[in-house]
Structure 1
Amino acid sequence: MPVSPALAEDLAAKVRELYEDAEYALLGHLARALAEDIDSPLWAELKLAAVGNLREAVERVAEALQHDADGAVAEALIEAYGRGRQAAVAELGALDVGRELAARRALPNAPAVDRLAASYASDTRPLYVRITRAVLDTYRSVVARVSASTLLGGLTRRQASQRALDQFANRGITGFVDRAGRSWDMASYAEMAVRSVTARAVIEGHIDALAEIRVGLVIVSDAPLECPLCRPWEGEILTLGAESGPHTIRAEHTIQPSGLFEPTRTVAVHVAGSLVEARAQGLFHPNCRHSLSAYLPGVTTRPPQHATPGTTYEDTQRQREIERHIRRWKRVQAAAIDEAARRKAGAKVRAWQAVQREHVAAHPELRRKPQREQIGAAH
């Protein structure tokens, strides 16, 4: 069967939920710490004296998150790599090479899995340092701003605290920048890192299995609603070797004549480039819908094109944007100090959920993914 990042999508979901639950818990700790003794005239002094308690609570959340996430990622990588291998077995099962691959029953390639786990650890290490700093900086900032507002007589302490918490919840725990220079909040950054590394694991499991039985060519599917990064590679044949750029090769026909004196048949194959080259240019990015199959010269045909009338790639990105709005207002709801603020945030959540229903109804090719709208289900 063809292999794609979607094979590992459910594995990334578990890790994403860990980060979202942690962020939800951190917002709750912050809101409760600020709300305690809020009517006391000594509120500012009490808050500054309680910084140590908040730090301990935040560090416990961060340590538990790191432990749980590292274990979940290790399990996800092994499972994703294994799924990639099994996809190769299923894909070639009717051929002798498929039976040969199945007979090997190889365990996951430890070096490949370890390398991907190390890459994930390196990418997410700044998260755990940033968590404590971000929450404590926000706490001190709120105390300072609320004290100033109260002295000036502009806002009540409760109103000023809620306004500051709303701003923090709106943006989440931020400050994470990827290699392309883009900024992310904590949960989104972690999700991106996990989806990326598990997608790589499932692809590597597949191509490692193909390489073991000397299948050196693969073909990219034609996926609906493709993004500009992937479009140039749709339906193209790629080499698993090092040679990049478009070129034509003569390859042995996969099914050879059975006669003793029959000549070896070859076919001309146009190769668009290498898989390494295509991935470097964006193919199989997180959320990529494309799949990869073994290309058997003389047997494999190019995939049919998928028409998606009335729906565009931009429509899929609008769906992702609406999901972000829903999660953002759920964070605001988690940071509410009083019932009025909770009701206001809840109304915003329901409003954006209605927008999502309308958007999906207007584009039948889209499917709503409720799990991508959730945050902090465990709390």
Structure 2
Amino acid sequence: MTTNQTQETTSQTAESSHAQLALIGLYMAADNRLTKLMGKVMRMLRRASTPLDLSMAFDVMRRGERQVVNQLERQTPPLLETLTRTVEQEMQVEARHLPPKPPTPTVNIPGNSPQPFDFTMPLGQRATSAIRVDLQTELKDIRARILRQHDDLYKLTASGAATHNMLRYGTIKDAQQSMMSDLLQHGVTGFTDRSGRNWQLSSYVEMAVRTASMRAYNEAHMQVMQAAGVTLFMVPVHAHTCPVCFKWQGKILSLTSDDDADATVDEARAAGLWHPNCEHMLVSFREGDKRPKVSEWTDRDQQLWESSQRQRSLESSIRAQKRVLVNSGDGQMRVNARAKIRRYQSQLRELTKSTGLLRRTRREQLDLGLRK
């Protein structure tokens, strides 16, 4: 792989990030609107004295949910189209590194190719198709989940939940305050991935968009290269990576069993490569290409990795307290939130100073700095 190819591969990811951020930002803004709505409804519930008051509060929640979802349903298709069109344009870079196309429009590929490969299909269409299949389903499920928020809020504020919290915190007022704090920090809309990890709405969307985009690039690249007779791929080296992916950097992967490869693509995927938010984009590997130098995982690498995860945790904690500060109507809760924000920011400053990690203040903002 040439230096120019490496630079172009890197630029593809950078250029697509603008389209990704636009889609992520839409759902980030929706998340903030829902949190504000939740704070309003929680204040109504605390003042409620009759069944009619409760009914009115949940009706406000239902109407607000529908307004947010209606906006998402209007704006998601054009933004998704922008993202897929950007991928299609950037995938044309791949065409400049392909051997000449065969004279016939369709070629039967031996091995595990499920169907003939059509060279007449523009490269980007394969990536576009992959993104659409992944994200259309994901984002539709997210919108459906938003419309169930009022049910979750009802369950959390029912007598059983209130009794449970009162036993923990002493009084009904304490239970209500604790419940409101939890809801404003973490939100009702929760998502659990296949590994059991819980995500907030905006974080889940960010992960889904980035993961689907990277998967689209990899799938399209492998299909195109296989059709051109290239079946070996290399996992590039990233300066900052996780322990799971580190062992795969510089490795040669094949689509099927190959003595010249370290493993197959399926084996690497099963071992954890391309986990959610993974940024490793496969590059083609041909005879004569040099492998990058990869060092052993050291205690320093482990320390930096753990520190980076601590940094992400502190950033999330700061955002959670800012949600309380912005959306709570309780004076004492806002005072406590300000104090916690200052404490977490102090810990973050100390962490970045002692480790050399770059502090990204935008990740401490409720919108991740996406709004201008």
Partner-residue secondary structure (3-state), 1:233:
coil
1:196 offset after TM fit, Å?
Answer: 1.0
Native 8 Å contact 1:217 1:295 kept in 2: yes
**Residue of structure 2 equivalent to 1:372:** 363
**Residue of structure 2 equivalent to 1:359:** 351
**Distance of aligned partners of 1:71 and 1:139 in 2 relative to their CA distance in 1, 3 Å threshold:** farther
Instruction: Flag structure 2 segments of 5+ consecutive residues without an equivalent.
Output: 103-118, 165-169
Partner-residue secondary structure (3-state), 1:229:
helix
Report the Cα distance in structure 1 between the residues aligned to 2:336 and 2:127, rounded to whole angstroms: 49
The structure whose RCO (Cα within 8 Å, separation 6+) is larger is 1
Native 8 Å contact 2:185 2:324 kept in 1: yes
Report the Cα distance in structure 1 between the residues aligned to 2:231 and 2:26, rounded to whole angstroms: 39
Does residue 80 of structure 1 match 2:70? no
- 1:336 is aligned, of 328, 332, 356, to 328
Partner-residue secondary structure (3-state), 2:291:
coil
Residues 120-139 of structure 1 correspond to what in structure 2 (within 5 A)? 120-138=135-153
Partner-residue secondary structure (3-state), 2:247:
helix
- 1:319 is aligned, of 302, 311, 314, to 311
1:336 offset after TM fit, Å?
Answer: 0.7
Instruction: Flag structure 1 segments of 5+ consecutive residues without an equivalent.
Output: 249-269
> Greater helix share, 1 or 2?
2
Native 8 Å contact 2:181 2:333 kept in 1: no
Native 8 Å contact 1:17 1:375 kept in 2: no
Paired letter, 1:22: A
- 1:305 is aligned, of 289, 294, 297, to 294
- 2:233 is aligned, of 218, 226, 241, to 218
1:20 offset after TM fit, Å?
Answer: 2.5
**Residue of structure 2 equivalent to 1:55:** 62
1:344 offset after TM fit, Å?
Answer: 2.6
**Distance of aligned partners of 1:18 and 1:346 in 2 relative to their CA distance in 1, 3 Å threshold:** farther
Paired letter, 1:301: K
1:168 offset after TM fit, Å?
Answer: 0.9
* Percent sequence identity over aligned pairs: 26
**Distance of aligned partners of 1:367 and 1:147 in 2 relative to their CA distance in 1, 3 Å threshold:** closer
Report the Cα distance in structure 1 between the residues aligned to 2:124 and 2:13, rounded to whole angstroms: 21
Native 8 Å contact 1:219 1:237 kept in 2: yes
CA RMSD of superposed structures (Å): 3.8
TM-score, scaled relative to structure 1: 0.74
Report the Cα distance in structure 1 between the residues aligned to 2:156 and 2:276, rounded to whole angstroms: 35
1:28 offset after TM fit, Å?
Answer: 1.2
TM-score, scaled relative to structure 2: 0.75
**Residue of structure 2 equivalent to 1:117:** 132
Paired letter, 1:130: R
Report the Cα distance in structure 2 between the residues aligned to 1:148 and 1:288, rounded to whole angstroms: 42
- 1:12-58 CA distance string (max 9 Å, x none): 33333322321221121122234359668x46642323432331111
Paired letter, 2:21: A
Aligned length: 340
Native 8 Å contact 2:156 2:162 kept in 1: no
Paired letter, 1:14: A
Report the Cα distance in structure 2 between the residues aligned to 1:304 and 1:172, rounded to whole angstroms: 45
Paired letter, 1:321: S
Report the Cα distance in structure 1 between the residues aligned to 2:80 and 2:292, rounded to whole angstroms: 33
**Residue of structure 1 equivalent to 2:264:** 274
Residues 195-214 of structure 1 correspond to what in structure 2 (within 5 A)? 195-211=210-226, 213-214=228-229
- 2:26 is aligned, of 12, 18, 24, to 18
Report the Cα distance in structure 2 between the residues aligned to 1:126 and 1:62, rounded to whole angstroms: 11
Native 8 Å contact 2:87 2:128 kept in 1: no
Report the Cα distance in structure 2 between the residues aligned to 1:81 and 1:279, rounded to whole angstroms: 24
Report the Cα distance in structure 2 between the residues aligned to 1:290 and 1:123, rounded to whole angstroms: 22
Paired letter, 1:350: R
Report the Cα distance in structure 1 between the residues aligned to 2:231 and 2:293, rounded to whole angstroms: 22
Native 8 Å contact 1:330 1:349 kept in 2: yes
Residues 22-33 of structure 1 correspond to what in structure 2 (within 5 A)? 22-33=30-41
Native 8 Å contact 1:81 1:202 kept in 2: no
Paired letter, 1:31: G
Native 8 Å contact 1:217 1:294 kept in 2: yes
**Distance of aligned partners of 1:309 and 1:180 in 2 relative to their CA distance in 1, 3 Å threshold:** closer
1:193 offset after TM fit, Å?
Answer: 1.3
